[in-house]
Amino acid sequence: MLDTIYAADTPEGIELHLPVAGPVSRALAWAIDFLIRVIIYIALATMLVGFGSAGLGILMILTFAMEWFYPVLFEVKRHGQTPGKSALGLRVIHDDGTPVGWSASMIRNLLRVADFLPLFYGFGLISIMFSKQFKRLGDHAAGTLVVYAEKPGKPVKPTSIAVQRPPYPLRLEEQQAILAFEEQSNRLAQERAEELASLTGPLVEGQPRPVEALQGMAHWLTGDRGRSPLK
């Protein structure tokens, strides 16, 4: 089987497993973006046709700007997603999993010229097929890759959490981590919250609901001890 999962180490030392997008989905995303640009060009040409040579010059300038900066602006300002990529659920990121920046996006899009050669993205397709991460030449040069965007999970529903005393004395940084987790836990997907809670190891060992256990400890740390303790 073809393994399309890419393991990226973040600057924080966390390993991310990212599903890499293949050539078919990327081609469909490109087709959608191309169609959008064609519609814009037709609209611009219709508006500028009455201005003669001046209108033609403006149209050429706007067409040049659209071709080169349309993907860059969307990738940087819209979390790595052009309208086409967003429709297909794709996203451009750096190799380390961080959001794509201006320089990387500029490099990968300027090198579309090389990817297009000799015809219809021939070199780009060859590069994709011989790369484990389906990278075209622009991605290799910019240190980027295209992955499937993570779908937001179902948030953890707030529940009535009973206070729980930590099983052992906690250091200051451990207390701060528990309080930060409690503050953010209701905004996380259930699976993500459980994953983070399990990383605390012995702190939630033997707990049937580790997320609620940490939330209860957070209430204990903040002095909210009027609720009945967990057994």
- Phi, psi (degrees; rounded to nearest 5) at 194: -65, -35
Co-location of 131 and 111 in the same domain: yes
Co-location of 187 and 208 in the same domain: yes
Q: Is the pLDDT of residue 152 over 70?
A: no
Q: Is the pLDDT of residue 13 over 70?
A: no
Single-letter amino acid code for the residue at 67: E
- Beta strands in 22-124, from DSSP E residues, in sequence order: 90-94
Structure tokens at 169: 């004395």
CA distance 19 to 43: 37
Q: Which of 10-24, 115-129, 180-194 has the highest mean pLDDT?
A: 115-129
In the chain, the number of structural domains is: 2
Residue ending a domain, choose from 119, 148, 177: 148
- Name which of 127, 117, 120 is nearest 34 in CA terms: 120
CA distance 78 to 97: 16
Co-location of 171 and 118 in the same domain: no
- The pTM (predicted TM-score) of the whole model is 0.65
- Name which of 147, 121, 171 is nearest 7 in CA terms: 147
CA distance 140 to 109: 12
Per the prediction, the chain carries an average pLDDT of 85
Structure tokens at 42: 């037709």
Co-location of 55 and 120 in the same domain: yes
Q: Is the pLDDT of residue 230 over 60?
A: no
Co-location of 42 and 112 in the same domain: yes
Structure tokens at 176: 């701060």
Give residue 151's pLDDT: 64
Co-location of 202 and 214 in the same domain: yes
Q: Is the pLDDT of residue 225 over 60?
A: no
The answer to whether residue 230 sits within a structural domain is no
Co-location of 95 and 61 in the same domain: yes
Co-location of 210 and 180 in the same domain: yes
Half-sphere exposure of residue 99, counting CA atoms within 13 Å on the CB side?
A: 11
CA distance 108 to 112: 7
Give residue 159's pLDDT: 53
Residue 190 domain boundaries: 152-224
The answer to whether residue 99 sits within a structural domain is yes
Structure tokens at 47: 């508006």
- Name which of 55, 89, 85 is nearest 72 in CA terms: 85
Integer distance in angstroms from the first to the last C-alpha of the chain?
47
Co-location of 75 and 114 in the same domain: yes
Co-location of 29 and 127 in the same domain: yes
